[in-house]
Structure 1
Amino acid sequence: MSETTEKKTYRIQNLSCSSCAKTFEENLKSLPRVKNAEVNHAAAKIYITGDATIAEMEKAGAFDNVKVRDVRELKVEKESFWKKKENYPVYAAAIIVIISFLLSYTLGENHIITTCGYLTAIVIGGYSLFITGFTNLLRLKFDMNTLMTIAVIGAALIGEWQEGATVVILFAVSEALERYSMDKARQSINLLMDVAPSEALIRRDSTEQIMDVAEIRVGDIMIVKPGKKVAMDGMVIKGTSTINQAAITGESVPVTKQVNDEVFAGTLNEEGLIEVKVTKLVEDTTISKIIHLVEEAQAERAPSQAFVDKFAKYYTPAIIIIAILVMLIPPLFLQANWHDWLYQGLAVLIIGCPCALVVSTPVAIVTAIGNAARNGVLIKGGIHLEEAGHIDTVAFDKTGTLTAGIPVVTDIIPNDRSVLVKAAALENGSQHPLASAIIKKAEAEELDYQSVAIHHFQSITGKGVRGDIDGQTYYIGSPSLFESLGKEIDPRVSELEAEGKTVMLFGSETIEQIIAVADELRPEVVDVLQELKHMKLNTMMLTGDNQRTGEAIGQRAGLTAVKANLLPEDKLNIIREIKKDRKVAMVGDGVNDAPALAAADIGIAMGGSGTDTALETADIALMSDDLKKLPYTIKLSKKALTIIKQNITFSLIIKLIALLLVIPGWLTLWIAIFSDIGATLIVTLNSLRLIKINGYKS
């Protein structure tokens, strides 16, 4: 790929609003060596196809004091909102307006000094506004900047200098509010950026040195001392410690890490000294992938946002037509005063600025997705956030989702250690998953099964194994194996199977021991399903296991319905059938049941501490493998939907009320700008309430 066609990514700061983002994007596209440009306002990133220097890009964004930096600089420069340079002209203009207002009481409103004061405030406070507004006017592009420019110049032309100057300041305040709200909404992702250290202690070629993460290579040995954060993804090769993985999984309970265990960048080493072999470059670490996916998700337009954008496309031209009609009809046909109705028309133009409407959705989306990421839930886009708020049915895979996926021995009849040691010795030669459950049980009982000699070991496909102990032939396997040997099956076997357990028998001439094994429910499952029922959601299990086992698990868990004996295509067909009447989410492990996960309205993967599969396949990933995050995610989605609807409704009602004031002639520039800035402030604060929702209460 040549230099001029390579797609490059940069981080940006200070971009005020979505309208400014479009202007910045157009300016970037006009640069001589740039083939294409895309501005991601929500994630504060730009994508350049072609070539451009940082100086050229900053010049393209100079109208909004945009700063550009390399994408690898994850750290965000923290700057006080009040100390931002773009706010200084607003402060200066506000002081001049106040002085001019006070002088008007002694010199008069129309005195040359007072008028010059207001004019100075308009120029200082609205300089960047007018540059953008005039440029858009020449292109016949009518956005917020264009409408405000026309309104302020119109106010000056009819002698309303004081109101024109005040409108400029209040509009600047409104833009600052939008900038502040987006910064607050990005707060969660900024916290993720601050998680991983920028350097690490590395041993390379027998030499230890502090090294920048960008210089660390795969295969380097990273030394992580107690109390220090892990800087790179890797595998423990020496030492044991407990690691706090809250940054990745949202859970603060530390996890013990030993040799051959995986550790993630951004996690905290709490106790021991460990040495870690680096397995990924800095841009490929789990935390980097999460940051990238969340930033992309925050920029993805949700259905409600698409509605707002489409509405604004027709809304703004409609407002311009209404403003022209307000200016012309009363004076021309009703002999009304030209000055009064020109003033009313200008006020209508200000009402036409869709600030609150434009802010209503993206701030809520960005806040909710960022909050979810901080709590260990990766939501891959606004559309998935909204869909999760609409679901009424949740389908679960069994193994690894509702259950731990690890079979354990639940019953031994009779509980005779001398017999169990023989069973474990025989199973030690088997590769079957159920064999590992018996061996673990023997180890827990501290039985020396490895000292038992097995001769003539043989696997009986699909049924069990056989072998000789002390010259006697023993069998261990399914009840069907012993039926084929002509042995009578104990009625307790059926009772155990009715409880959803898998039964194995051990014996020689007679059956000497019954061993029941089950894949146990996750400890949180019952509470989670109870909470989902309280939320009026249907719950069901789709499993390939037999009907008896499935029903037993479903009964213990408290599921609404159970579908068993299913192949992957059966699960897919069931999901498709449910979708005809209801909105369904499929919860699986991100590896199995991929067709069902893809077909559901929402595919939710058990994340496995950020496995690549879970990150790539699901619409939503529960990074900590904790089902308690599921009710939290649905609650967050429903809350976000409610807030978006409130914001859109409130914004439109405020605009409508203000427009109705035109009829009696009560609409003023003051009322127009205050209704706009007030609505913007209210929808912003309403959206930021989503920051307070946390995932620690199920």
Structure 2
Amino acid sequence: MEDKKQVYRLQGLSCTNCAAQFEKNVKDIQTVIDAQINFGASKLTVIGEATIEQLEQAGAFDEIKVIPAKQRAEEQRTPFWKKKTNITTAVSALFVLLGYIAQFTASENSVLAIGLFVLAIIIGGYELFKVGLSNLVHLQFDMKTLMTIAIIGAAFIGEWGEGAVVVFLFALSEALERYSMDKARQSIRRLLEIAPKKAIIRKGNKEYEVDVEDIEIDDIMIVKPGQKIAMDGIVVKGQSSVNQAAITGESLPVYKQVGDEVFAGTLNEEGSLEVRVTKRAEDTTIAKIIHLVEEAQAERAPSQQFIDRFAKYYTPAIMLIALFLAVLPPLLWNGDWSEWIYRGLAVLVVGCPCALVISTPVAIVTAIGNAARKGVLIKGGIHLEETGRLKAIAFDKTGTLTKGTPEVTNIELFNEIGEAELLGIAAAIERHSQHPLASAILREAKRKAIDIEKWQAGDFLSITGKGAKANVNGNVYYIGSPTLFAEFLTLPVHVQERISRLQIEGKTVMLLGTNEELLGLFAVADQVRESAKTVIQSLHKLGIHKTMMLTGDNDKTAAAIGNELQLSEVKAELLPQDKLATIKKIREEFGSVAMVGDGVNDAPALASATVGIAMGGAGTDTALETADIALMADDLTKLPYTIRLSRKTLRIIKENITFALGLKILALILIVPGWLTLWLAIFADMGATLIVMMNSLRLMKVKE
């Protein structure tokens, strides 16, 4: 029998240590088999059974509220100054101030001053002591254990004032950490708020407003001008411009008409639409994005895994150093017990790994959230870090560097026939063909308003790999490659030269004629994206050493596109297994490589690349599932932004770790001459934590 799995959203989860403690408490519930906390997304996954009351009891130490993930609940957003913990911190600060005033006006060890400091310690440190003492009893050593020992020690040696200041500064540090983490989590909250909770559904001739969870597939949803679309679906009536920025990051609205796909959370602008629902609420694109972003924030990046392992040994090591410092000098060299215990306590306080533990997750959470709002879905901290280290990027051609829809670029006549007639005959034949180039001819005829009904084709025959023939208005015509016509006609030299020049330009040439004479030619090309050249230039400026195009197309077409885009290298006429082999070779040469494709074709190459990047993730489940990063809009310009964001994240993580460790080492050096006071130690720790948080939040500002 499969174990029962429940997912909950958490409100009030304040710090990484609290998350770890809460997870442990939940695992201790007898009916729970396993539990996992996603700190970045504030979510809890429980395998087994537990009531909301049991879970909230497990998180009572941090006043955690537990809400089932499927239940829509408005988060109670309490202003910063109205939160209970922040009020007690402010009251504690007041008593510290009054204590120092009493000490200044009376005497240093006056009963009034000590009484005020004791009140400050009890009020500001009650929650801290509750957890810290419990941890101490169970021999669990974390930040709160260290702080509890330090404050009790300070009181023991009569440093009441310093103990009170340490309590206040630690409480303030925790409050500011909570505030910063809430800011980092806002990106997910904004995503959750994008899609409406209700929609108007038409049944028969009546319209009903229903919850999105109750909407069934194939229901008809009415979307009025100015309303947000509540569900993914296909337009069955009406036309309008839809702002898709929330899903794809596109700044300009996209025109939608009958047959087009629309996404939940996008804004219908001026027209009225009727939409046939194609996905349930939990399967919509926005729901998948939210799920993937949350999963991404739970996945530990390599640097975070290192910090977690480091902190595991670091905290006990600090406790041992503090113990030796407090005990050995008085025992071995007749040092003053009071002075050396004080120094040992200062080591405990400065040794708090707050800044170190928070240095990576807050940066990862902020970066992934920022990217999601810009239409870039990064599926984990590991992919973010790997993208920041890239030196080589390979691109699929069709649909990635090119638009993926071939267009007629040249029409040339070799007889007395007019262009309209040539295009009409070609379109009449190509109506019966499934070849991608046929659609280019039909689109060109439509663009030039040719009435193709004048030409009726019969006896259509596809000539595999070469073209087609048909009887049009009583005459048999052929359309296809120069190879087809070479079988029954001798092509004039000037025609051969013209064909050659067009092919060198990267165009596919199709000839039209009878078995006796050549009437004209069409040159067709898959148009390069307008943004492709500037994107490749931006990548080179960012220090990407190799930009390569991998395509199954012919050498001439590939070379023409490669030259136009100034790519480092082009490999053409590749089968899927050849692309895979090429990716492996580049990976060996550069250590890492990204593959950019449409997420449907070239799956082996995308999977074997260090980072697989899918174009146009919105609407394609395959792209969302197979790629490490999905560019939700069909927009290459998001690629340089993603690399800049990844590099800045890597840089900020390194800065955070260096700063957090550097400040600890500096503070520990200050202990030698006895310059490190308790309040200076906690101030250094709090300062490091704050600077690390603020530094990480700079990732919110990375522009496209």
Could you state the TM-score of these two structures normalised by the residue count of structure 2?
Answer: 0.96
Q: How does 1:43-192 map to 2 (within 5 A)?
A: 43-72=41-70, 73=72, 75-192=74-191
Residue by residue over 1:337-385, the C-alpha shift from the partner in whole angstroms, topping out at 9 and shown as x without a partner, is 1101100000000111011111111111100000000000000000000
Secondary structure in 1 aligned to 2:325?
helix
Q: How does 1:436-447 map to 2 (within 5 A)?
A: 436-447=439-450
Code of the residue aligned with 1:350 in structure 2: it is: V
Secondary structure in 2 aligned to 1:23?
helix
Aligned pair partner of 2:426 in 416, 423, 426: 423
Secondary structure in 1 aligned to 2:78?
coil
**Given the superposition, is the C-alpha separation of residues 88 and 205 from structure 1 closer, same or farther in structure 2, using an over 3 Å criterion?**
farther
Aligned pair partner of 1:691 in 697, 700, 703: 700
Contact 1:393 1:584 in 2 (8 A): yes
Offset, 1:227: 0.5
2:511 is the counterpart of 1:505: yes
Look up the match of 2:352.
353
Look up the match of 1:680.
689
Contact 2:505 2:560 in 1 (8 A): yes
Look up the match of 1:526.
533
Instruction: Please give the alpha-carbon distance, in whole angstroms, between the structure 2 residues aligned to 1:604 and 1:406.
Output: 21
Offset, 1:80: 1.8
Residue by residue over 1:109-141, the C-alpha shift from the partner in whole angstroms, topping out at 9 and shown as x without a partner, is 322232222112212211111111112112211
Contact 2:196 2:230 in 1 (8 A): yes
2:233 is the counterpart of 1:238: no
2:498 is the counterpart of 1:495: no
Contact 1:243 1:255 in 2 (8 A): yes
Instruction: Please give the alpha-carbon distance, in whole angstroms, between the structure 2 residues aligned to 1:483 and 1:82.
Output: 84
Contact 1:14 1:64 in 2 (8 A): yes
Instruction: Please give the alpha-carbon distance, in whole angstroms, between the structure 1 residues aligned to 2:473 and 2:388.
Output: 64
Q: How does 1:254-269 map to 2 (within 5 A)?
A: 254-269=253-268
Offset, 1:146: 0.6
Code of the residue aligned with 1:94 in structure 2: it is: A
Aligned pair partner of 1:558 in 566, 581, 599: 566
Look up the match of 2:624.
615
Look up the match of 1:38.
36
Contact 2:239 2:256 in 1 (8 A): yes
Residue by residue over 1:311-351, the C-alpha shift from the partner in whole angstroms, topping out at 9 and shown as x without a partner, is 11121111111111111222122222110110000000011
Contact 1:385 1:637 in 2 (8 A): yes
Ranges in structure 2 where 5+ consecutive residues have no aligned partner: none
2:217 is the counterpart of 1:249: no
In the comparison of the two structures, how many residue pairs are matched?
693
Could you state the TM-score of these two structures normalised by the residue count of structure 1?
Answer: 0.97
Contact 2:616 2:631 in 1 (8 A): yes
Contact 2:511 2:521 in 1 (8 A): yes
Aligned pair partner of 1:543 in 534, 543, 551: 551
Code of the residue aligned with 2:24 in structure 1: it is: E
Code of the residue aligned with 1:138 in structure 2: it is: V
Look up the match of 1:21.
19
Q: How does 1:634-673 map to 2 (within 5 A)?
A: 634-673=643-682
Code of the residue aligned with 2:21 in structure 1: it is: T
Instruction: Please give the alpha-carbon distance, in whole angstroms, between the structure 1 residues aligned to 2:420 and 2:208.
Output: 55
Instruction: Please give the alpha-carbon distance, in whole angstroms, between the structure 1 residues aligned to 2:160 and 2:631.
Output: 57
The two structures, once aligned, show a CA RMSD in angstroms of 1.4
Code of the residue aligned with 1:432 in structure 2: it is: H
Code of the residue aligned with 1:469 in structure 2: it is: V
Offset, 1:610: 4.1
Q: How does 1:303-314 map to 2 (within 5 A)?
A: 303-314=302-313
Q: How does 1:622-637 map to 2 (within 5 A)?
A: 622-637=631-646
Contact 2:615 2:635 in 1 (8 A): yes
Look up the match of 2:384.
385
Code of the residue aligned with 1:550 in structure 2: it is: A
Contact 2:67 2:73 in 1 (8 A): no
**Given the superposition, is the C-alpha separation of residues 221 and 77 from structure 1 closer, same or farther in structure 2, using an over 3 Å criterion?**
farther
Instruction: Please give the alpha-carbon distance, in whole angstroms, between the structure 2 residues aligned to 1:283 and 1:475.
Output: 52
Instruction: Please give the alpha-carbon distance, in whole angstroms, between the structure 1 residues aligned to 2:281 and 2:329.
Output: 66
Instruction: Please give the alpha-carbon distance, in whole angstroms, between the structure 2 residues aligned to 1:210 and 1:471.
Output: 59
Contact 1:64 1:86 in 2 (8 A): no
**Given the superposition, is the C-alpha separation of residues 74 and 624 from structure 1 closer, same or farther in structure 2, using an over 3 Å criterion?**
farther
Contact 1:297 1:380 in 2 (8 A): yes
Residue by residue over 1:219-263, the C-alpha shift from the partner in whole angstroms, topping out at 9 and shown as x without a partner, is 222111100101111111111111000000011211111112111
Contact 2:480 2:512 in 1 (8 A): yes
For structure 1, which segment, 457-466 or 297-306, has the greater mean C-alpha deviation from structure 2 after superposition?
457-466
Instruction: Please give the alpha-carbon distance, in whole angstroms, between the structure 1 residues aligned to 2:449 and 2:510.
Output: 21
For structure 1, which segment, 229-238 or 203-212, has the greater mean C-alpha deviation from structure 2 after superposition?
203-212
